[in-house]
Amino acid sequence: DAGITQSPRHKVTETGTPVTLRCHQTENHRYMYWYRQDPGHGLRLIHYSYGVKDTDKGEVSDGYSVSRSKTEDFLLTLESATSSQTSVYFCAISEYRGDTEAFFGQGTRLTVV
């Protein structure tokens, strides 16, 4: 398995609080992605990064922000968590652009109560 670690693996938080999820890779891959997975929706892209400090929005970016200050770390922040953001969040990495194979982290299960 590719060296991708997500933390925390599980989190319960209250509505209105900020939450930060971390993705750490040891593969030195340039591209990193955050997806969310919900029943009946498959995986949907939230944000992605194509280099240090270079990020862009995905399909479902509202309410989320990201930062990448080092190649190995990609942070996802929920600025003010809502119940609709209860989901499983997956980080993915790829060596080249999105039209090359992507490897996923173990996922973070986030519950907003």
Partner 1 sequence: GENVEQHPSTLSVQEGDSAVIKCTYSDSASNYFPWYKQELGKRPQLIIDIRSNVGEKKDQRIAVTLNKTAKHFSLHITETQPEDSAVYFCAASMGGGADGLTFGKGTHLIIQP
The answer to whether residue 108 forms part of the interface with partner 1 (CB under 8 A) is: no
Q: Which of 58, 61, 73, 95 binds partner 1 (CB under 8 A)?
A: 58
The Cα–Cα gap between 52 and 30 comes to 8
Please calculate the CA angle 69-64-22 and round it to the nearest 5 degrees: 45
Q: Which of 7, 15, 41, 70 binds partner 1 (CB under 8 A)?
A: 41
Please calculate the CA angle 67-7-51 and round it to the nearest 5 degrees: 30
Q: Which is nearer to partner 1, 5 or 13 (CB)?
A: 5
**Site residues (CB under 8 A) for partner 1?**
31, 33, 35, 40-45, 48, 50, 56, 58-59, 90, 97-107
